[in-house]
Amino acid sequence: MKGAVEERAIELGEYILENKTTVRAAAKKFHISKSTVHKDVSDRLQTVNPQLYREVRRILEINKAQRHIRGGIATREKYRHDEE
């Protein structure tokens, strides 16, 4: 029988997969920490639902590859607002 933690891991995995979202965005949506989301989808989900885990990992790898671009965009926007 699955506990609340395992059910949350599945729910988080499905949310990330459906919305192609980041760990940070999922944490905000579910009102939990980024560390908890990461623990759920990287450790717990692997044992509970390996197929979902593999699909979510693909999304997270894409996010990891793109994070430096997002950071640059955020920095540019920050300084663009400071100039105004």
Domain residue ranges in the chain: 4-83
Q: What is the DSSP letter of 42?
A: I
What is residue 83's predicted lDDT score, i.e. its pLDDT? 66
Burial track 23-49 (b if 16+ CB lie within 10 A, e otherwise):
bebbbeeeeeeeebbbebbeebbbebb
What is residue 2's predicted lDDT score, i.e. its pLDDT? 62
Opening angle at CA 60, ends 56 and 63, nearest 5: 145
Predicted model pTM:
0.78
What is residue 75's predicted lDDT score, i.e. its pLDDT? 87
What is residue 40's predicted lDDT score, i.e. its pLDDT? 94
Going by pLDDT thresholds of 50, 70 and 90, the confidence category of residue 84 is low
Over pLDDT 90: what percentage of the chain? 69
Return all residues near 19 (Cβ < 8 A) that are at least 6 apart.
25
Diameter over CA atoms, the chain:
57
Higher pLDDT, 34 or 1: 34
